[in-house]
Amino acid sequence: MVKATAADAMAYRFVFYEGVTEAMVLDMEERIGSICYPEFAGCAAGQLEVYRKNRRSRVALFNKDELIGYACMLPITDEAYLTVKEGLSDNFLLRPDQVEEYEAGGHYKLYIDGFAIVPEERDYALSRRLVSAVFFEVGRMAEEGAEVDEIICYVTDRRVARLLEIEGFTKTRGASGQIYVCSIKKERFPVTSTTGAAVIF
């Protein structure tokens, strides 16, 4: 695979919730998700229902005009959080009733329900930029009064696990042994306001 150069990097851009559409979400799930998460192929309709519960849950990654990856991060109920953290279920697909809606003054636990880049584009640098985009969005929410206290995710790829460890995530004692958690500190985030739905990192 040919790695992206510094000049190529400008071709990549992130689109946040203001610019994400339902058609994009279906493309994320049906095309990209089915490659990266084959065990969940055919679940796009259910994921779309979850998206409709909280539309501020997706970051889309583009190479020029082509959607090549995404991150899905959802504020979840305490009950759902414990299910994930303790590794009590092998099926980590959320239902709409397990997802919360953001309100100013609220505090939330965020579950990374999807983190995917098409194989032909995937490399460490781009994966790290996608993680940065997730934290960027967490910072924007904090500015608007919705505080994320913790981020949790289920990891099957050791390379992703290593990346999360570098970003401050720690492994828990979940039954699967693949649950990673990051406690959020306000000082981690500078002012991050942006006026557009698309950002280039």
Q: Which residue has the tokens 């960027």?
A: 136
State the pLDDT confidence band at 4, using cuts at 50, 70 and 90. very low
**CA dist list (Å): 118 to 7, 27, 28, 166, 168:** 20, 12, 10, 22, 25
26 contact partners, CB below 8 Å, separation of at least 6: 44, 48
Distance CA(190)–CA(155), nearest Å, equals 28
The CATH superfamily label for domain 6-199 reads Gcn5-related N-acetyltransferase (GNAT) (3.40.630.30)
Residue 7 has what pLDDT?
Answer: 47
- Tens digit of pLDDT for each residue in 73-96? 999 999 999 888 877 655 567 899
Domain ranges of the chain: 6-199
Flag whether pLDDT at 113 surpasses 90: no
What does the pLDDT average to over 118-147? 92
Per-residue 3-state assignment (H helix, E strand, C coil) for 77-134: CHHHHHHHHCCCCCCCCCCHHHECCCCCCCEEEEEEEEEEECCCCCCHHHHHHHHHHH
pLDDT above 50: residue 197: no
* β-strand pairing of 66-76 with 107-117: antiparallel
pLDDT at 191 over 50: no
Q: What is the mean pLDDT of the chain?
A: 83
Confidence of residue 58 (pLDDT cuts 50, 70, 90): very high
